[in-house]
Protein backbone atom coordinates (compact mmCIF):
# COMPACT_ATOMS: atom_id res chain seq x y z
CA UNK A 1 0.00 0.00 0.00
CA UNK A 2 1.81 3.11 -1.25
CA UNK A 3 -0.30 5.49 0.88
CA UNK A 4 0.69 3.65 4.04
CA UNK A 5 4.32 3.45 2.93
CA UNK A 6 4.41 7.19 2.27
CA UNK A 7 2.98 7.90 5.73
CA UNK A 8 5.49 5.53 7.31
CA UNK A 9 8.48 7.14 5.60
CA UNK A 10 7.26 10.65 6.40
CA UNK A 11 7.00 9.66 10.07
CA UNK A 12 10.46 8.10 9.86
CA UNK A 13 11.80 11.36 8.44
CA UNK A 14 10.34 13.37 11.33
CA UNK A 15 11.59 10.86 13.91
CA UNK A 16 15.01 10.82 12.29
CA UNK A 17 15.22 14.60 12.46
CA UNK A 18 14.50 14.39 16.20
CA UNK A 19 16.86 11.57 17.13
CA UNK A 20 19.38 11.59 14.29
CA UNK A 21 19.88 9.19 11.41
CA UNK A 22 22.82 7.89 9.47
CA UNK A 23 23.46 9.13 5.93
CA UNK A 24 22.27 5.76 4.62
CA UNK A 25 19.02 6.02 6.57
CA UNK A 26 18.44 9.60 5.35
CA UNK A 27 19.07 8.52 1.75
CA UNK A 28 16.66 5.59 2.09
CA UNK A 29 13.94 7.71 3.68
CA UNK A 30 14.23 10.55 1.18
CA UNK A 31 14.31 8.19 -1.78
CA UNK A 32 11.34 6.15 -0.55
CA UNK A 33 9.28 9.29 0.00
CA UNK A 34 10.04 10.47 -3.52
CA UNK A 35 9.28 7.05 -5.05
CA UNK A 36 5.98 6.75 -3.15
CA UNK A 37 4.91 10.27 -4.14
CA UNK A 38 5.80 9.51 -7.77
CA UNK A 39 3.66 6.40 -7.64
CA UNK A 40 0.69 8.22 -6.12
CA UNK A 41 0.88 11.50 -8.02
CA UNK A 42 -0.90 12.42 -11.20
CA UNK A 43 1.88 14.86 -12.01
CA UNK A 44 5.42 14.07 -13.10
CA UNK A 45 8.03 14.35 -10.37
CA UNK A 46 10.42 17.25 -11.03
CA UNK A 47 13.66 15.91 -12.48
CA UNK A 48 15.68 18.14 -10.15
CA UNK A 49 14.07 16.40 -7.14
CA UNK A 50 14.97 12.99 -8.55
CA UNK A 51 18.53 14.13 -9.29
CA UNK A 52 18.92 15.44 -5.72
CA UNK A 53 17.65 12.15 -4.29
CA UNK A 54 20.05 10.23 -6.56
CA UNK A 55 22.98 12.32 -5.34
CA UNK A 56 22.10 11.64 -1.70
CA UNK A 57 21.51 7.92 -2.33
CA UNK A 58 24.77 7.63 -4.27
CA UNK A 59 26.68 9.02 -1.28
CA UNK A 60 25.21 6.23 0.88
CA UNK A 61 25.59 3.43 -1.69
CA UNK A 62 25.18 0.55 -1.93
CA UNK A 63 21.49 0.65 -1.12
CA UNK A 64 18.22 -0.53 -2.67
CA UNK A 65 16.93 2.98 -3.20
CA UNK A 66 19.60 4.17 -5.64
CA UNK A 67 18.79 1.67 -8.43
CA UNK A 68 15.08 2.41 -8.10
CA UNK A 69 15.72 6.16 -8.33
CA UNK A 70 17.92 5.64 -11.40
CA UNK A 71 15.15 3.61 -13.06
CA UNK A 72 12.72 6.44 -12.30
CA UNK A 73 15.17 8.98 -13.73
CA UNK A 74 15.55 6.88 -16.86
CA UNK A 75 11.79 6.59 -17.22
CA UNK A 76 11.38 10.36 -16.87
CA UNK A 77 14.07 10.91 -19.49
CA UNK A 78 12.37 8.43 -21.80
CA UNK A 79 8.97 10.07 -21.35
CA UNK A 80 10.23 13.59 -21.94
CA UNK A 81 12.78 12.91 -24.68
CA UNK A 82 13.45 9.49 -26.22
CA UNK A 83 13.76 5.87 -25.04
CA UNK A 84 17.44 5.57 -25.99
CA UNK A 85 18.34 8.49 -23.72
CA UNK A 86 17.21 6.46 -20.71
CA UNK A 87 19.81 3.75 -21.32
CA UNK A 88 22.69 5.30 -19.34
CA UNK A 89 20.46 5.64 -16.27
CA UNK A 90 19.20 2.08 -16.64
CA UNK A 91 22.70 0.66 -17.08
CA UNK A 92 23.82 2.60 -13.98
CA UNK A 93 20.78 1.22 -12.15
CA UNK A 94 21.80 -2.32 -13.08
CA UNK A 95 25.35 -1.77 -11.85
CA UNK A 96 24.17 -0.30 -8.55
CA UNK A 97 21.56 -3.06 -8.15
CA UNK A 98 24.29 -5.66 -8.60
CA UNK A 99 26.32 -3.84 -5.94
CA UNK A 100 23.52 -4.54 -3.45
CA UNK A 101 23.53 -8.28 -4.23
CA UNK A 102 19.70 -8.31 -4.05
CA UNK A 103 18.54 -10.81 -6.72
CA UNK A 104 15.00 -9.42 -6.86
CA UNK A 105 16.20 -5.85 -7.30
CA UNK A 106 18.56 -6.95 -10.07
CA UNK A 107 15.70 -8.77 -11.81
CA UNK A 108 13.48 -5.68 -11.51
CA UNK A 109 16.13 -3.48 -13.11
CA UNK A 110 16.71 -5.95 -15.96
CA UNK A 111 12.93 -5.97 -16.43
CA UNK A 112 12.93 -2.14 -16.62
CA UNK A 113 15.68 -2.32 -19.25
CA UNK A 114 13.56 -4.79 -21.24
CA UNK A 115 10.59 -2.45 -21.22
CA UNK A 116 12.79 0.43 -22.28
CA UNK A 117 13.50 -1.62 -25.41
CA UNK A 118 9.75 -2.07 -25.87
CA UNK A 119 9.25 1.71 -25.84
CA UNK A 120 12.09 2.01 -28.35
CA UNK A 121 10.09 -0.38 -30.56
CA UNK A 122 12.81 -3.02 -30.45
CA UNK A 123 10.92 -6.21 -29.61
CA UNK A 124 13.90 -8.44 -30.41
CA UNK A 125 16.11 -6.58 -27.92
CA UNK A 126 13.31 -6.71 -25.38
CA UNK A 127 13.05 -10.47 -25.84
CA UNK A 128 16.82 -10.93 -25.47
CA UNK A 129 16.79 -8.82 -22.31
CA UNK A 130 13.94 -10.86 -20.86
CA UNK A 131 15.92 -14.02 -21.59
CA UNK A 132 18.81 -12.44 -19.67
CA UNK A 133 16.39 -11.76 -16.81
CA UNK A 134 15.23 -15.38 -16.94
CA UNK A 135 18.82 -16.60 -16.70
CA UNK A 136 19.38 -14.28 -13.73
CA UNK A 137 16.23 -15.62 -12.00
CA UNK A 138 17.36 -19.20 -12.52
CA UNK A 139 20.90 -18.52 -11.25
CA UNK A 140 19.96 -16.34 -8.30
CA UNK A 141 16.66 -17.76 -7.09
CA UNK A 142 14.94 -14.39 -7.49
CA UNK A 143 11.23 -14.30 -6.74
CA UNK A 144 10.49 -12.43 -9.99
CA UNK A 145 10.13 -15.57 -12.13
CA UNK A 146 6.39 -15.13 -12.69
CA UNK A 147 6.74 -11.56 -13.87
CA UNK A 148 9.62 -12.42 -16.19
CA UNK A 149 7.92 -15.54 -17.53
CA UNK A 150 4.66 -13.72 -18.25
CA UNK A 151 6.41 -10.93 -20.14
CA UNK A 152 8.65 -13.35 -22.03
CA UNK A 153 5.60 -15.29 -23.17
CA UNK A 154 3.82 -12.10 -24.23
CA UNK A 155 6.83 -10.95 -26.23
CA UNK A 156 7.18 -14.38 -27.82
CA UNK A 157 3.57 -14.04 -28.99
CA UNK A 158 4.29 -10.53 -30.34
CA UNK A 159 7.24 -11.97 -32.22
CA UNK A 160 4.99 -14.73 -33.61
CA UNK A 161 7.41 -17.33 -32.31
CA UNK A 162 5.96 -18.81 -29.16
CA UNK A 163 6.87 -22.36 -30.13
CA UNK A 164 10.33 -21.41 -31.48
CA UNK A 165 11.90 -21.26 -28.06
CA UNK A 166 11.71 -24.65 -26.35
CA UNK A 167 13.71 -23.31 -23.39
CA UNK A 168 10.98 -20.77 -22.60
CA UNK A 169 8.29 -23.43 -22.95
CA UNK A 170 10.25 -25.81 -20.70
CA UNK A 171 10.75 -23.05 -18.12
CA UNK A 172 7.02 -22.26 -18.19
CA UNK A 173 6.13 -25.92 -17.80
CA UNK A 174 8.55 -26.33 -14.90
CA UNK A 175 7.04 -23.30 -13.15
CA UNK A 176 3.43 -24.44 -13.67
Strand segments (E) across 28-161: none
Please give the chain's pLDDT, 176 residues, in tens.
889 999 999 999 999 988 989 988 999 999 999 999 999 999 999 999 999 999 999 999 999 999 999 999 999 999 999 999 999 999 999 999 999 999 999 999 999 999 999 999 999 999 999 999 999 999 999 999 999 988 988 888 888 876 666 667 777 677 65
pLDDT recorded at residue 158: 84
pLDDT at 67: 98
Of 61, 59, 58, 85, the closest CA to residue 73 belongs to: 85
CA-to-CA distance for 28 and 122, rounded, in angstroms?
A: 34
Neighbours of 136 (CB within 10 A): 20
Rounded (10°) CA dihedral 83, 63, 106, 92: 40
Amino acid sequence: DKHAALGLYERAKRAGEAVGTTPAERAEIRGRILLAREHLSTERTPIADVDDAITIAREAAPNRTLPELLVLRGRLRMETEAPDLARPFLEDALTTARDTGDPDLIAEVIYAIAFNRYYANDIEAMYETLLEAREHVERSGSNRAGQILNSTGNVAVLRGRLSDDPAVLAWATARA
